């Protein structure tokens, strides 16, 4: 039996390919990698709190997130 991973899912975008992401309220709660990203070759999913300015920083990959 073959094991299918999200690596074969064309609806997902690659994780950890950008240093900065613009997010919306629909993306909350915020996690890195986000649910629409492939996770098979990424770091463990972590939930990130937004600061008072609507920004977050991933401690694993260094990506910055900004609430639009």
**pLDDT tens per residue across span 1-52:** 454 568 788 889 888 888 999 999 999 999 999 999 988 888 999 999 999 9
Beta bridge partners of 8: none
Answer yes or no: are the C-beta atoms of 32 and 59 closer than 8 Å.
no
User: Rounded to an integer, what distance in angstroms lies between the CA atom of residue 39 and that of residue 48?
Assistant: 16
Query: Where does the pLDDT of residue 55 fall: very low under 50, low under 70, confident under 90, or very high at 90 and above?
Result: very high
pTM: 0.83
Residue 48's pLDDT is 98
């Amino acid at each position: 039996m073959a094991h299918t991973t999200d690596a074969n899912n064309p609806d997902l975008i690659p994780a950890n390919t950008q240093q900065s992401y613009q997010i919306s309220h629909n993306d909350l709660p915020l996690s890195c990698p986000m649910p629409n990203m492939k996770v098979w070759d990424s770091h463990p999913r972590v939930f990130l709190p937004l600061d008072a300015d609507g920004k977050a920083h991933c401690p694993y990959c260094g990506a910055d997130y900004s609430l639009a």
